Structure 1
């Protein structure tokens, strides 16, 4: 039990935050049970593996976003970065699968470095800096792709990154799991985790404590860029093309996953494990909606699904505001 709670992250002094994190796990389990009882093929290997394969991209960008938000920042560029990285990965994929992988990660790395430099050295607010990076990334992706999808090479083995399996488990899910394990180790078992949370509690105080604030922020935004770059690689490999117009709204899914997982938007409190649970919970909601559409009881288009996502996020933010108020008064 102790290990499980440790994976959820450092429990805040307010028991309400701990309960919110455990509530995410409970809600996820409840949805799985509901789906298993209501739909015939919900627990089929096809649905389970497809669910993990597709949603690994969103889990990755949620991981990077979680670390950024823990510092009190925001990264609006993740969707644009993933789209641009998918194009770069597709362009390099004919040379070797590793070239496509490296190209996509390099694209994410560049955006992460730019975000970090602009925020730490030029002292631009993260909202503005990453918004500018988002627009630049989308534009760069469209320029590189000539305003169209870029086919990947099917001969270099690149598509295995998105479509292949290893030990009966989707390779994208293995990749996401490896990233989350690394993120959990960094936050829970390394001094950088304490620096990230301390900066979120108060950047000025963290500087007075002698912490390496700028170096830590650089690392956090670079990590977010790399996560988005990896998501772009999986996007290109899974769908067979670099897609410069994809990624719209991905940053909102990532933010929603983070706040659903109990990470406060004000920073200073966060959990890697609960972020993963939040991402899976949101993905599970739409998986169930797809099954419900199939039964014919309801018919929700992608537009209505966006409305539901927005209302869900609003409800969670309201709940977080109450939790933050309880912490301030406690």
Structure 2
């Protein structure tokens, strides 16, 4: 029996999906994608492969060379029983919270103040002034702070002695109770750097019509900032939160240079503990497990930040 398909008058075929359209466009421009192939290859080789390799080796006892023994979740069980891990996680949480408090206040205020300057030349001068410290190598900055904290000839103790507060002088980086707080204070006054520029770019992307309308309605400078400008830079705030969390979780160079995790383990963080297990103790599998844990925590926090940190009004500049 012959089946006859009858198409109703006026009926149209379903449009191709977005994936199909994308594949068609890629096929028409295949030469361009071939030119990008070396770049994609290097990204996969040096970014994605190490990450998946670390995830794979976190289930093994591995010395980084030829010895490898599958242990399942044993590395993660050992990690849960390791007191140094819990201490380092507590330190990481403290450093992250302080870094968030700093990056969500001081650079934001600096960016807002520069944005409200009426003199464009003065605004440009301050913008350059905040960029200049970014060209100074991080190692140089840390060595300066090590000198400031030096218990004998350091600037901080010398100033305390000069103003009659010599009793407050301390070996700041050698004090078990104060070393972590000394690390937190590095970078004072915390306004120079990329965070200020990100906030400033967000303020500059706000349509002037909105600001003019708020001014016509009689809104004060503070109300205009709180109810108009701040909600419209929420995208920049979310970006700063993500960058701060990732930087705090992954970074350990500052602590490695300043205290190397000491005195004792008072300033130990997971990143430095991972490095020690991999490079000093030759426990590559355990180090990979620590890295996997940090990746999972960072991924969860990034998702929560993107999912729940929202404003009732959010503007995305073109």
TM-score of the superposition, structure 2-length normalised?
Answer: 0.30
- Give the structure with higher Rg (CA): 2
Normalized per residue, the structure richer in helix is 1
Higher RCO, 1 vs 2 (CA within 8 Å, ≥6 residues apart): 1
TM-score of the superposition, structure 1-length normalised?
Answer: 0.29
